[in-house]
Structure 1
Amino acid sequence: MTFPTDRPATWFVTGTSRGLGLELVRQLLRRGDGVAATTRSSERLPAALGDDVDTARLLPLTVDLRDEEQVARAVGRTTERFGGLDVVMNNAGYGYLGAVEETTGQDVRDMLDVQVAGVWNVLRATLPVLREQRAGHIVNVSSVLGLTAVPGWALYCAGKFALEGLSEALAAEAADFGIDVTIVEPGYFRTDFLTRDSLALPAATTEHYPALREMVESYLALQGAQLGDPVKGAAAVIDRVVAGQGPLRLLLGSDAHAYATAKVRALQADLDANAATAPATDFPAAA
């Protein structure tokens, strides 16, 4: 995509009530861009942005991303208000801490409805606009836990792993239409992500995982001491979009880079261990 230079860009951003999404909207409005910002309660968004932000180019939208018709209407209102669409950022999501065994079926459906089905709803509504104009940029906010998994985060990782696969396939499909795709993979940022108000926790914690319960408490204790600065994180995302071409993945934070590096090394070790045995299941080569 060639980022607009003759007019402000138009962004459609989900999950803007707090954290990285809220800071991104704040910085975009200060740039003079147009922002359609979805939350579950748009009335609170202008106040959350602060008095020093001009909200004249803000379109706050209350949207349930699980509802395909609501999403489609929100995208329609965006293009009607701003006359087009340049950047789509899928940022909505929440954390979940709990063992696989104690994660209920409803927990699973709720998470995947937001982190996978909700993103798909946004993409189905926005891709026709971007494809028709043969330009645009899609930013899917994953996590370093979309690359590697740790105990207690199984459900969250499952959603982010799915988002990674979706995004990789989308990047190849969209390239022919001049649409860029970026997967953002943050580490732990100093937002309220690791608070009990933000995290979902199992209704009942099984007695069989005492070590995991201690780990949950350690994550909650990390709140306020995370390495990531959301102001710098939002700026990095904007810089990547403005620059245009770049790597598929944007890792944010030294902790994210360290986790990802460890995963690559572990994967390479598995590949090396299977190098000799993997071909054993092939049909014999034709004579």
Structure 2
Amino acid sequence: MTDNTTWFVTGASRGLGLELVKQLLADGRDVTATTRSADRLRANLGGTDTSRLRAIEVDLADERQVQEAVAAAGDIDVVVNNAGYGFLAAVEEVTDAEARQMFDVQVFGVWNVLRAVLPSLRERRRGHIVNVSSILGLTAFGGWGLYCAGKYALEGLTESLAAEVAGLGIRVTLVEPGYLRTDFLRPSSLGLATRTVDGYEAIREMTQAHLAMPGTQLGDPAKAAAAIIELADRADGPLHQLLGSDSYGLAKARIEALAQDVEAGRELAVTTDVS
């Protein structure tokens, strides 16, 4: 055990969130974990000592439920907004209900947690907020429009938050993983188009390729969870923390492509200044 900090983790019953909770409990940390099923979370923790775990079933889109969960956790030191799921469909194929549900989890759910935890962190002038984004919060691909929209929104929200609390003793980190070897790409965690539209055959092929990917991803969720704990234990660290060599490579390519776009548009851009 390195530090008896109190953690608040959302989306804890599977994948990266589950691995993070396992390691935190093994370290002797106090953990309040939100999940859609406390029974599933405890079952998935197996033989892990759960004496320091408070598992709470929370609908993150329900502000009252979130506030009650945060209050039950007591003085929180580290907040990890991890809840989320993937979605593969063309932009034209995404329904209004599907789009709103994604934003309820990836944006409004996070905002509910932030509103609930910030008063205490600000009063105590300490704490660390870790928002789990994705490399798809920095770059985008066809078929991932809804997921990218949520993660891009999370990135903007988090960067603004970091600037606002920089002088209040609160640290903020955006974690941007690549593909982790979890069930993220399995039907139980991945939303798919409920209606398909002719002309998007490439997205159908890409979807099938992703459904066949589980078990071959480069990222190790145990190592990713350990990296998040290391970031929280350190007194420094970047605002943007990539996880995975695939994430690093895609981020570098995005930076280069964006720089090329900026320069290609410079001549027209400067013509719109007031003369």
TM-score, length basis structure 2:
0.98
Matched, 1:49 2:45: yes
Matched, 1:21 2:17: yes
Matched, 1:278 2:273: no
How far apart, CA to CA, are the structure 2 residues paired with 1:141 and 1:130? 19
* Deviation (angstroms), 1:208: 2.0
How far apart, CA to CA, are the structure 1 residues paired with 2:46 and 2:19? 11
- Give the letter aligned to residue 58 of structure 1: L
- Give the letter aligned to residue 52 of structure 2: R
SS in 1 for 2:192: coil
Equivalent residue, structure 2, for 1:8: 4
Equivalent residue, structure 1, for 2:80: 89
Indicate the RMSD between aligned Cα atoms, in angstroms: 1.1
* Deviation (angstroms), 1:130: 0.4
Equivalent residue, structure 2, for 1:162: 153
- Give the letter aligned to residue 235 of structure 2: G
SS in 1 for 2:93: coil
The percent of aligned pairs where both chains have the same amino acid is 60
How far apart, CA to CA, are the structure 2 residues paired with 1:166 and 1:263? 20
Show the 5 A alignment for 1:56-135. 56-79=51-74, 84-135=75-126
How far apart, CA to CA, are the structure 2 residues paired with 1:177 and 1:211? 48
1:191-227, Cα deviation, whole Å (9 max, x unpaired): 0000111101111112221111011001111111000
Show the 5 A alignment for 1:175-190. 175-190=166-181
SS in 2 for 1:190: coil
**Where in structure 1 are there 5+ consecutive unaligned residues?**
none
* Deviation (angstroms), 1:277: 2.2
How far apart, CA to CA, are the structure 2 residues paired with 1:8 and 1:114? 29
1:57-100, Cα deviation, whole Å (9 max, x unpaired): 00000000000000000001100xxxx11001000000000001
How far apart, CA to CA, are the structure 2 residues paired with 1:213 and 1:169? 36
1:223-253, Cα deviation, whole Å (9 max, x unpaired): 1100000000000010011012111011000
Indicate which of 142, 147, 153 corresponds to 2:133.
142
1:100-142, Cα deviation, whole Å (9 max, x unpaired): 1110011100000110000000000000010000000000000
Q: Please identify runs of 4+ aligned residues in structure 1 that moved more than 4 A.
A: none
Greater Cα shift, 268-277 or 68-77? 268-277
TM-score, length basis structure 1:
0.94
Equivalent residue, structure 1, for 2:247: 256
Equivalent residue, structure 1, for 2:234: 243
SS in 1 for 2:236: coil
How far apart, CA to CA, are the structure 2 residues paired with 1:197 and 1:72? 28
Equivalent residue, structure 1, for 2:26: 30
Show the 5 A alignment for 1:222-241. 222-241=213-232
**Where in structure 2 are there 5+ consecutive unaligned residues?**
none
How far apart, CA to CA, are the structure 1 residues paired with 2:65 and 2:243? 31
How far apart, CA to CA, are the structure 1 residues paired with 2:4 and 2:223? 21
How far apart, CA to CA, are the structure 1 residues paired with 2:157 and 2:189? 25
SS in 2 for 1:227: coil
SS in 2 for 1:101: helix
**Count of aligned pairs:** 275
SS in 1 for 2:172: strand
1:162-201, Cα deviation, whole Å (9 max, x unpaired): 0000000000001111000000000000000001111011
SS in 1 for 2:86: coil
How far apart, CA to CA, are the structure 1 residues paired with 2:124 and 2:164? 15
How far apart, CA to CA, are the structure 2 residues paired with 1:190 and 1:246? 25
